Structure 1
Amino acid sequence: MMAPQINGDAEFWHARSELTYIHDYARACQVSLWALLSVVLARVCATVPPHVMTQPLYGNAPGTLNLFVAVLGGSGDGKGLTERMARTLLPDIRNATTALPVSGEGIPALFATRETQEEDGRRTVIRCVNPRALLSVPEITALGGSAKRIGSTLIPTLTSAYSGEALGGFNKNEANRLTVPEHGYRIALITGVQPHNLNVIMDEEGTGLPQRFLWADTADYDAPEKVPPMPTGRLGFDVSALPEDMPNSGLDALYEAGDRWRMIDHGEANYPLTILRYPQSAFTAAEKDGWERLHRARQNPLDAHRIGLTVKIAGLLALLSRPDSLTVTEEDWALAEYVYRRSAEFRDKAIRQFEDIKRNLKAQAYALDSEARDEADARRMNRIKTVTLKWLDEHDPGREGVVGHEISRARGRDSKHGMVYAALESLYVEGKVDKVGGGPTPQSTLWAVSAR
């Protein structure tokens, strides 16, 4: 059975009870529907154990549910309020570490630590301190500031974390050497993005960072003027119904091995993976995307991670609705495709707004620059007129006249671009110099200080 089509927001929000509840809750709290849903999905992501993976759509490598969310809006537009409402709506995130990322090296430290073995005080072993983290960046400029520090690995680490790849690197000092293995951590990130700061994230298009985000806007132009009542009951998402976390012994064994492949029976013995199964529509979409990728036929480079992000959204929507199930349905996939479509619309609209802001700033800068040049030219002309008048008065006391090209040559640098001749013409109009003979051009005219 192929995935049903979702036709419009109304059909999406009424497709199932959890979505309707989020819709009604957002309206009652006066926050954006799409922003609240996106943050809720990030919190759902944080609750899912890291050994729960998505079914491979390309090859045979399972994928991760790790999710990044960008909430668009200006200062005071409700980004912080949306996060608070999402916490109220879904408070239990299974003790996920909540932090603001400041460096690439700091991210592995959210999940791993090194401990000294009791029997051998000289040897340390790596251990898992927490398999999950929810990173909150109130404003994207904080992330950009950290990323621009010399030698920063923050952006490459984040892109690796989104894909569920191993984190950390080699350090000569073993005590500072922290690595987090693939399949061994869950991470979600939420950041606020003001339109005029969009370049902080869009400048990383080459690294693939903006392509990895689920985008949502804090605006809701269909929100009613009269605030509706709070919906009754609860969201219906039961965290306890999700697959249980792996025992600490299994996580520690994975962290110490550094790679599931190096574990006993390649991890099947004490760190088996749990796979979310996807419908045929997901495979069909992946095949089409693969063809477009190989043929360089994608219409928008920012959609390079469309399938991977849709896979994550579909899995999280499935778990939000049925936390005790490991099957993603055709409806889940259709809903996820619609979420991605709306995300791309929010992203593209923000880019257009940013381009408008850039054009306006350039226009203002050009106007200011033009005004400054005009003022500088006027001041220079006034100075040349003053010194030219003074020179004539000193060198032609009898008012017999001095030919224009001699006056210009005597003024040296001021003579460039005909400025002295323009000054003489202006002084003549003002009645401060007279033309007492000579030829028809300013260069050949005899000029004298006016007797008037």
Structure 2
Amino acid sequence: MSTAPAWAPNVREADPEVTGRPGRLPEEFWSARPIFQHIRQAAHSEGCSGDVLFYSSLARLSGMISHHYRAVTGIGGRASLNIFSAIVGASGAGKSTGSSLTRALMPALDEDFRDGLPVGSGEGIAEAFMGTVEEPTGEVIQRGKNVGDPVMRRVRKQVRHNAYFYVDEGQTIAKLGERSGSVLGETLRRAAVGETLGQTNASEERTRYVPAGSYSLGLLVGFQPSTAVPVLADASTGTPQRFLWGWADDPSIPDTPPQWPGPLAMHPGQRRLDEPRDITFPMRVRTMLWEEKVARNRGELEVPELDGHAGLIKVKVAAILALLDNRDGVTEDDWALAEMVWAASCGVRDHLVERARREAEAERQRQDDAKVLQAVREHEAKADAELAVERVARLVRRHASQVGGITFGELNRRVASRDRPNLRKAIDLAEARDWVFEEGDRLCVKTD
């Protein structure tokens, strides 16, 4: 008997391969801290995936926090906390819900925070931080009522430090990146690690300069599985390695929605800093990261291409988890939770990579089968053609056996229209077998 609800009589039962696939945050993670349970309850109260809201909140929060926060691990200076999250699910699976829910869960106090901007181009990402201000020229007004006041000029420069970008469909990024002259891919890769953004142009109004370390930027992208696969296949560019990956569906959403828990009373996006603030890490983690870096640079350790940024992403996640717990120092517990998040992300990513492998293998098999079928058809067509020529050649011999032979014109009239395309070949075959010979404009039968 069907168990589908009355409102969905044609709903099929869930695919076990989907409900049981790896990559979801484990119960151990959700139960680790009250704030995680708060996030999950907020998601479930709206019928949304807990994973979606968590990854969405990470991305948005990383764009909302002060750019003065930096992770210090002893490797590569002070690392930005910019986080890119990718949510994978079918159309209508609730990928966009997390982006809207995180605004209610973590309200932004800074009115200058660019919240939920679309991505249109690499130039547009840098432009989000730019504006026009008035600056003194060093001269003063010499005449009039404002005499003595400084002479001002309008200058384009960086005027803000926080932005969160949201792309509902990841295919958009792929298509924008394919445009001639596009710098989108490079800009995203630079933004993920907090490097300098912008372009230098001949005209001042088109020049953009956003220095490294002067901004916080988060990015959330929704993907359907079919659009995520090409992005993951492009690992050589270094783009997919910079994302955390999560599923849009959540089998743990309860039948009865829990109560909305309300916004978080305090979160790190509400704190403003006037000077750099270092987020420190335990010595064990610092040592582990250092040893891995040295081993890679010595050529003693080869890391899979898609794991190239594993250490950095775990550093970012652990730092934000510490900030969510109102601390500036990462603990071993923060690091263990960050490793859970990374493991879940890898589960999604690897599942998609395996899916891509299976689909590619199926496509290769389809192409091989098509080639075999085409070869069989060509062989059969050739055999049929040879039989047709053989049959018409026998007709040629029979028609030519009349007294005096037969003219080519008369032969053409006597042969059925379907056989005329093979007539010339049939005559050649009959001659080759010494059945007939040409005499003037006639064909005659050879006699012994």
TM-score band (shorter)? 0.7 to 0.9
Report the equivalent of 1:164. 194
Counterpart residue number, 1:180: 210
Q: TM-score, normalization: structure 1?
A: 0.73
Residues 1:38 and 2:55 aligned together? yes
Contact 2:234 2:240 in 1 (8 A): yes
- Within a 5 Å distance, the mapping from 1:261-340 to structure 2 comes to 272-294=275-297, 295-322=299-326, 325-340=327-342
Shift of 1:243: 3.1
Cα pair distance change 1:140/1:233, threshold 3 Å? closer
Partners of 2:259 and 2:311 lie apart in 1 by 34
Q: Deviation of residue 21 (structure 1)?
A: 1.7
- Flag the 1:375–1:169 CA change in 2: closer, same or farther, 3 A: same
1:21/1:228 Cα in 2 relative to 1: closer, same or farther (>3 Å)? Answer: farther
Superposed displacement of residue 40, structure 1: 1.1
2:41 equivalent in structure 1: 24
Query: Does residue 1:350 correspond to 2:345, yes or no?
Result: no
Alignment partner, residue 263 of structure 1 = none
SS at match of 1:215: strand
Over 3 Å counting, the alpha-carbon distance change for 1:276 and 1:205 in structure 2 is same
Aligned Cα root-mean-square deviation (Å): 3.4
Contact 2:268 2:324 in 1 (8 A): no
Going from structure 1 to structure 2, the CA distance change for 1:298 and 1:175 (only over 3 Å counts) comes to same
What is the alpha-carbon distance in structure 2 between the residues aligned to residue 162 and residue 131 of structure 1? 15
Q: 1:135 aligns with which of 165, 172, 175?
A: 165
Report the alpha carbon displacement of residue 70 of structure 1 after superposing the two structures with TM: 0.9
Secondary structure in 2 matching 1:397: helix
CA contact (8 A) 1:147 1:153 kept: yes
- Which residue matches 1:74? 90
Contact kept? 1:168, 1:178, Cα under 8 Å: yes
Name 2:15's counterpart in structure 1: none
- Compared CA separation, residues 88 and 116, structure 1 to 2 (3 A): closer
Matched, 1:106 2:124: yes
Instruction: Give distance in 1, aligned partners of 2:195 and 2:269.
Output: 27
Gaps of 5+ in 1: 1-7, 247-271, 401-419, 425-434, 437-442, 448-452
Q: Percent identity?
A: 25
Spell out structure 1 runs of 4+ moving beyond 6 A: 120-123, 443-447
Structure 1 position 330, deviation (Å): 2.1
C-alpha displacement at 1:187, in angstroms? Answer: 0.7
Local SS of the residue matching 1:76: coil
Q: Distance in 2 between matches of 1:241 and 1:398?
A: 99
Give the TM-score of the pair, scaled to structure 2. Answer: 0.74
Would you say how many aligned residue pairs link Structure 1 and Structure 2? 376
Change (3 A) 1:380 1:40: same
Kindly state the Cα deviation for residue 91 of structure 1 after the two structures are TM-superposed: 3.7
Shift of 1:328: 2.0
For residue 343 of structure 1, what is the amino acid of its counterpart?
Answer: S
Alpha-carbon distance in 2 for matches of 1:297, 1:131: 37
Q: Distance in 2 between matches of 1:93 and 1:386?
A: 85
Structure possessing the higher radius of gyration over alpha carbons? 2
Deviation readout 1:314-371 (Å, 9 max, x if unpaired): 111122222xx32222211211111111111111111111222222233334444544
Matches within 5 A, 1:113-132: 113-114=131-132, 125-132=155-162
Unaligned runs of 5+ residues in structure 2 are 1-24, 140-150, 403-421, 437-448
1:65 has 2:75 as partner: no
Instruction: Please say if residues 132 and 157 of structure 2, whose CA atoms lie closer than 8 Å, have aligned partners that are also in contact.
Output: yes
